[in-house]
A and B are shown apart, each in its own frame.
Chain A
Amino acid sequence: MPAYYLEALTVTLGFIILLAEAFVPAKNKSLAGLVGAAGLTAILILTFFSIGPDSKPDAAWAEWPLWNFYQFDSLARFYKILALLTTALVLLMAVDYRKILARFTEDPTTEEGTGEFYSLPIFACAGMMWMASAKDLAGAFVALELVTITFYILVAFMRRNVGSLEAGVKYLILGALSTGFLVYGIAWVYGSTGTMSLALLPEKIAGMENTVPLLFGIALVLVALGFKVGAVPMQMWIPDVYQGAPTPTTAFLSVGSKAAGFILLIRFLTPFLGESSPVRSQVLTILLIIAGATLLYGNLAAIPQTNFKRLLAYSSIAHAGFLILALAAWQPVSGNNISSIEAVSFYLATYLLMTLGVFFILAQVRIHRDGEAITDFNGLGKTNPLLALATTVLLAALAGVPLTAGFIGKFFVFSLAAEAHLWAGLTVAVIAAAAGFYYYFKTIRAIWWIEPSDESPIALPIISKISIGTLTVLTLVFGIYPYPILQLLK
Chain B
Amino acid sequence: MLILLVALPILAFLAILLGAPARLTAVGAATINLILGLGSIFCWQSKAWEFSLQVLEKPAIHLAFGYIDGMSLVMVILSVIVTLAAVLSGKAPAGSEKLYYGSSLLIAAGAIGAFASTDLFFFYAFHEMALIPTFLMIGMLGRGDRRGIAWKITIYLGLGSLVLLAGLVWLASLAGTFDLREMKDAAGVIDPAAQKGIAALLIVGFGTLVSLFPFHSWAAPAYASAPAPTAMLHAGVLKKFGLYGMLRIAVPLVPDGLQFWLTPLLVLLIGNILWVGLVTIAQKRLDTLLGNSSVMHMGYIFLAIAALIAVPENTLAAPAAIVLMFAHGISIALLFGLADRIERSTGSLDLSDMGGLAKSAPGMAFLFGIAAMASIGLPGLANFSGEVLVFLSAFQDYTPADGLGSVQIACILAIWGVVISAVYMLRAYRNIFQGPAVKSTENAADLTLVDHIPAVLLIIALLAVGIYPNLILNLLNVVKL
Binding site for B on A (CB under 8 A): 335-338, 381, 385, 389, 392, 396, 401-403, 407-408, 411, 414-415, 418-419, 426, 430, 433-434, 437-438, 441, 445, 448-450, 480-483, 486
Please give the distance in Å from B246's CB to the nearest CB on chain A. Answer: 19
Q: Is B170 within 8 A of A418, CB to CB?
A: yes
Please report the C-alpha to C-alpha distance between residue A238 and residue B249 in the assembled complex, in whole angstroms: 43
Q: Is B155 within 8 A of A448, CB to CB?
A: no
Q: Does B147 touch A at the CB level, under 8 Å?
A: yes
Q: Is B147 within 8 A of A449, CB to CB?
A: yes
Please report the C-alpha to C-alpha distance between residue A79 and residue B38 in the assembled complex, in whole angstroms: 50
Q: Is B58 within 8 A of A338, CB to CB?
A: yes
Residue among A414, A437, A438, A449 with max Cβ neighbours from chain B (10 Å): A449
Q: A418-B169, A441-B158 are in contact. List 6 more A-B contacts (CB 8 A).
A: A415-B59, A448-B140, A480-B55, A481-B63, A482-B56, A483-B56
Task: Show 27 residue pairs from A and B whose CB-CB distance is below 8 angstroms, ordered by the A residue.
Answer: A335-B58, A336-B59, A338-B58, A338-B59, A392-B132, A396-B132, A402-B124, A402-B125, A402-B128, A402-B129, A403-B126, A414-B165, A415-B169, A418-B169, A430-B163, A430-B166, A434-B162, A438-B155, A445-B139, A448-B139, A449-B146, A480-B55, A480-B63, A481-B63, A482-B55, A483-B54, A486-B56
In the complex, the 5 A-B pairs of residues with the closest C-beta atoms, listed nearest first: A402-B125, A449-B139, A402-B128, A437-B158, A418-B173
Q: Does B57 touch A at the CB level, under 8 Å?
A: yes
Q: Inside 8 A of B162's CB, which chain A residues have their CB?
A: 430, 433-434, 437
Q: Inside 8 A of A415's CB, which chain B residues have their CB?
A: 59, 169, 172-173
A-B contact count (CB 8 A): 83
Q: Inside 8 A of A407's CB, which chain B residues have their CB?
A: 125
Please give the distance in Å from B253's CB to the nearest CB on chain A. Answer: 16
Please report the C-alpha to C-alpha distance between residue A63 and residue B344 in the assembled complex, in whole angstroms: 83
Please report the C-alpha to C-alpha distance between residue A424 and residue B259 in the assembled complex, in whole angstroms: 26
Q: Is B140 within 8 A of A449, CB to CB?
A: yes
Q: Inside 8 A of B163's CB, which chain A residues have their CB?
A: 430
Q: Is B129 within 8 A of A336, CB to CB?
A: no
Q: Does B189 touch A at the CB level, under 8 Å?
A: no
Q: Is B158 within 8 A of A434, CB to CB?
A: yes
Indicate whether A403 sits within 8 Å of B55 (C-beta atoms), given known contacts A414-B165, A449-B147.
Answer: no
Please report the C-alpha to C-alpha distance between residue A401 and residue B169 in the assembled complex, in whole angstroms: 15
Please report the C-alpha to C-alpha distance between residue A75 and residue B53 in the assembled complex, in whole angstroms: 27
Please report the C-alpha to C-alpha distance between residue A450 and residue B147 in the assembled complex, in whole angstroms: 8
Please give the distance in Å from B122's CB to the nearest CB on chain A. Answer: 8
Q: Is B155 within 8 A of A381, CB to CB?
A: no
Q: Inside 8 A of A449's CB, which chain B residues have their CB?
A: 139-140, 146-147, 150
Size class of B's contact patch?
A: 35 or more
Q: Is B169 within 8 A of A441, CB to CB?
A: no
Q: Does B151 touch A at the CB level, under 8 Å?
A: yes
Residue among A335, A381, A414 making CB contact with B166, cutoff 8 Å: A414
Please report the C-alpha to C-alpha distance between residue A385 and residue B18 in the assembled complex, in whole angstroms: 12
Q: Does B154 touch A at the CB level, under 8 Å?
A: yes
Q: Inside 8 A of B155's CB, which chain A residues have their CB?
A: 438
Residue among A335, A401, A433 making CB contact with B128, cutoff 8 Å: A401
Residue among A337, A445, A481 making CB contact with B151, cutoff 8 Å: A445
Q: Does B159 touch A at the CB level, under 8 Å?
A: yes
Nearest chain A residue, comparing its CB with the CB of B170: A418
Q: Does B136 touch A at the CB level, under 8 Å?
A: yes
Q: Inside 8 A of A411's CB, which chain B residues have their CB?
A: 121, 169
Q: Inside 8 A of B165's CB, which chain A residues have their CB?
A: 414, 430
Q: Inside 8 A of A336's CB, which chain B residues have their CB?
A: 58-59
Please report the C-alpha to C-alpha distance between residue A457 and residue B74 in the assembled complex, in whole angstroms: 46
Q: Inside 8 A of A438's CB, which chain B residues have their CB?
A: 155, 158
Please give the distance in Å from B104's CB to the nearest CB on chain A. Answer: 16
User: Restricting to B132-146, which residues have a CB under 8 Å from any CB of A?
Assistant: 132, 135-136, 139-140, 146
Q: Inside 8 A of A335's CB, which chain B residues have their CB?
A: 58
Q: Inside 8 A of A419's CB, which chain B residues have their CB?
A: 173
Nearest chain A residue, comparing its CB with the CB of B53: A481
User: Restricting to B277-306, which residues have a CB under 8 Å from any CB of A?
Assistant: none
Q: Is A483 within 8 A of B55, CB to CB?
A: yes
Q: Is B136 within 8 A of A448, CB to CB?
A: yes
Residue among A337, A396, A401 making CB contact with B58, cutoff 8 Å: A337
Q: Is B140 within 8 A of A381, CB to CB?
A: yes
Please report the C-alpha to C-alpha distance between residue A419 and residue B173 in the assembled complex, in whole angstroms: 7
Q: Is B159 within 8 A of A434, CB to CB?
A: yes
Q: Is A445 within 8 A of B147, CB to CB?
A: yes
Please give the distance in Å from B227's CB to the nearest CB on chain A. Answer: 14
Q: Inside 8 A of B154's CB, which chain A residues have their CB?
A: 441, 445
Residue among B58, B124, B140, B172 with max Cβ neighbours from chain A (10 Å): B58
Q: Inside 8 A of A433's CB, which chain B residues have their CB?
A: 162
Please give the distance in Å from B455's CB to the nearest CB on chain A. Answer: 31
Q: Is A403 within 8 A of B56, CB to CB?
A: no
Please give the distance in Å from A310's CB to the nearest CB on chain B. Answer: 21
Please give the distance in Å from B354's CB to the nearest CB on chain A. Answer: 30
Q: Is A414 within 8 A of B169, CB to CB?
A: yes
Q: Is A403 within 8 A of B125, CB to CB?
A: yes
Nearest chain A residue, comparing its CB with the CB of B139: A449
Nearest chain B residue, comparing its CB with the CB of A342: B58
Please give the distance in Å from A395's CB to the nearest CB on chain B. Answer: 11
Q: Inside 8 A of A483's CB, which chain B residues have their CB?
A: 54-57
Q: Is A426 within 8 A of B166, CB to CB?
A: yes
Please report the C-alpha to C-alpha distance between residue A445 and residue B128 in the assembled complex, in whole angstroms: 17
Give per-residue flags for B44-70: 1 if the beta carbon is below 8 A from chain A beta carbons, else 0.
Answer: 000000000111111100010000000
Please give the distance in Å from B52's CB to the nearest CB on chain A. Answer: 13
Give per-residue flags for B155-181: 1 if the beta carbon is below 8 A from chain A beta carbons, else 0.
Answer: 100110011011001101100000000
Please give the distance in Å from A40's CB to the nearest CB on chain B. Answer: 30
Please report the C-alpha to C-alpha distance between residue A438 and residue B132 in the assembled complex, in whole angstroms: 13
Please report the C-alpha to C-alpha distance between residue A407 and residue B165 in the assembled complex, in whole angstroms: 11
Residue among A335, A392, A441 with max Cβ neighbours from chain B (10 Å): A441
Nearest chain A residue, comparing its CB with the CB of B151: A445
Indicate whether A401 sits within 8 Å of B59 (C-beta atoms), given known contacts A414-B166, A445-B151.
Answer: no
